Amino acid sequence: MFTPKRASLTLAAVTGLLVVGGLAADAALSPTPEGFTTERSADLAAQIDPSKPRNVILIIGDGMDDSMITAARNYEYGAGGRFPALDALPFTGAMTTYGLKAGAGPDYPKAYVSDSAPTASGWSTGKKTIDGRVSQGPSAAGNIPGENYETVLEKYQAEGKLVGNVTTSEITDATPAAAAAHMSQRGCQGPTDMTACATEKKSAGGLGAIAEQLVDHKIDVLLGGGKNRYVQATDAGPSVLDYATTTKGYRLVENKAALDGVTSLAGGPVLGLFSGGNMTPRYNPLVATPPPGAGGPTARCTDADRANQPDLSAMTAKAIDLLDNPDGFFLQAESAMIDKQEHASDICGAIGDLRELDEAVQVALDYQVANPDTLVIVTGDHSHSTQIVGGVTDGKQTATLLTADGDPMTVAYSTSDVGSDHTGAQIRVAASGPQAANVTGVIDQTDLFRTLLGRTPSVLPGGQPAVVKPAVSVAADGPISRSELQRRGVQVAVAATGATTVKVSLSKGDKTLTTRTLSARGGTTTLQAKTGPGVVKVVATAVGAGGTTKATKSVRVTR
């Protein structure tokens, strides 16, 4: 029996605050279902940081468009809920993702619907290319290689930063491949998959298969699925795996416990291959079918058995832990199975891996709290087919689930009779940290290239970030009886920005009954007091460089 989630009093109950840096990790950032209630200009201004980031973490949800985010949010948190991390990022924009079609050039026809190869190449290289192509320029046909384009990961590696590449698909799949490999056709992943890319084989003087290129790069942390590509024999004889471990010094890990056991890069780069092919999605499938469709008004997703595979947040946390160093790092982490499960018209698979992406974003934001010179960008690569529709007959294939609201939601897939394909709408891009403001407005995927590399710092008006008055909000439960107030106390939640000291007190008339000191960001606590019936006031006080701000909430005390 499913019980819709009932929010207890948490920071999420505090309205209207947009909070700096580390607090991006907190639910306090999310508006209530009623929306942001305070004027936010000062808070947003305080978060604009023009400095160049030391670390850059790019988190990709493959196929993660607004429709898919909304469906997953409805299911996991309800229509008025918010993803704690993904929806808390302070700067959000819209991003176009179109690509090119093969042709005579130099002006190539536009492709309004792209696959993951040109889209990932877009942010990796800053240039558009054609379907199937991995960080290589366009050409007259798919089987004619284009010019190799240098990637963000390659540039950072050349600068001496550590680099990581994490995914839940095969590590050789298009999105992770585009970070550091160059290939005319995305299917050329292992040395024995090279028929369509014969001139790019190592034995033909090329860079070799994607699997080989990734280890030739000595990417410091390489985690995902795709072991089947690595057991293939290279043109020279040994498997890619042998080549990686003997010639390139990689340490192979194949399960979560082994990954946990790696605690530094001192022993060499890490190659984690946790599955022969793609890794297992979080939820078991619920595959849409022709109307009246799959599932139903009481259907919920169930956890899949992922054996000893690590999940995306565990891989992301480990990658950050290993890459963390004074000179900085670049990490790309992808929740790949959102897209794969959308291709399969599997709503549960896609929802589970979007939730998993949110957890990975939380890991990145937690790191950002202690390392505020870290830019975190979260986006997708292209839009997809999942639509939220009004009825079970509103599409070629439909599925219905019970959401966290306790209401049924139907999704449809209508690009095909069986399975589903990409679509061409712009997608969401969001960010937090230095230079995060560059994702706002309408940008193109290729603009991310320069943002990921860190742009030349600009100067804010006034020469430095303005000192803003602290902002504070308070929420409290109530009414409460005299005896309850004395015994368990009134629960309060406070959220603050721009403060160095935050206190919350309970008062009646002029008399302060009790006071507690919270962290500079606020927090939750209980205030107990012995008093008679009437109205007491919960007063939150935030003191910072910009002055003092108070917020008050009245609570009725009953007999």
Q: List active site positions.
A: 116
Question: What string marks each residue from 292 to 331 as x (binds Zn ion by CB under 5 A) or -?
Answer: ----------------------------------------
Cβ-based neighbour number of residue 152 at 10 Å: 27
* DSSP assignment of 137-178: ---SSTTS---B---HHHHHHHHT-EEEEEEEEETTSHHHHH
194/323 Cα distance (integer angstroms): 32
Copy the structure tokens of residue 103.
Answer: 């042709």
Least CB distance from residue 175 to Zn ion, whole Å?
Answer: 9
Piece of 197-205, 247-255, 335-343, 538-546 that binds Zn ion (CB under 5 A): 335-343
526: which residues sit within 8 A by CB, 6+ positions away? 488, 489, 490, 491, 492
258/546 Cα distance (integer angstroms): 49
Coil, helix or strand for 356? helix
Residue in the block written with tokens 């290729």 = 446
Instruction: Name which of 43 and 339 has its Cβ closer to Zn ion.
Output: 339
304/279 Cα distance (integer angstroms): 11
Residue 375 is which amino acid?
Answer: L
Copy the structure tokens of residue 407.
Answer: 């209401």
Piece of 308-316, 332-340, 386-394, 501-509 that binds Zn ion (CB under 5 A): 332-340
Least CB distance from residue 106 to Zn ion, whole Å?
Answer: 28
> Where in 336-365 is the site for Zn ion (CB under 5 A)?
339
Torsion of CA 389, 392, 393, 394, to 10 degrees: 10
Instruction: Name which of 382 and 553 has its Cβ closer to Zn ion.
Output: 382
**DSSP class of 445:** T
Least CB distance from residue 4 to Zn ion, whole Å?
Answer: 32
Least CB distance from residue 337 to Zn ion, whole Å?
Answer: 10
Q: What spatial distance separates the first Cα and last Cα of the chain, rounded to whole Å?
A: 37
Instruction: Name which of 210 and 520 has its Cβ closer to Zn ion.
Output: 210
Instruction: Name which of 26 and 334 has its Cβ closer to Zn ion.
Output: 334
Instruction: Name which of 61 and 544 has its Cβ closer to Zn ion.
Output: 61
Instruction: Name which of 340 and 428 has its Cβ closer to Zn ion.
Output: 340
Least CB distance from residue 343 to Zn ion, whole Å?
Answer: 6
Least CB distance from residue 174 to Zn ion, whole Å?
Answer: 8
Q: Phi and psi at residue 494, in whole multiples of 5°?
A: -125, 135
Q: Could you tell me if 114 and 99 are in contact, meaning their C-beta atoms sit under 8 angstroms apart?
A: yes
Instruction: Name which of 170 and 339 has its Cβ closer to Zn ion.
Output: 339
Which residue is at the shortest CB distance from Zn ion? 339
Kindly determine how many residues on this chain lie close enough to bind Zn ion according to the rule CB under 5 A: 1
Q: Could you tell me if 111 and 100 are in contact, meaning their C-beta atoms sit under 8 angstroms apart?
A: yes
Question: What string marks each residue from 509 to 538 as x (binds Zn ion by CB under 5 A) or -?
Answer: ------------------------------
113/414 Cα distance (integer angstroms): 15
Q: Which residues bind Zn ion (CB under 5 A)?
A: 339
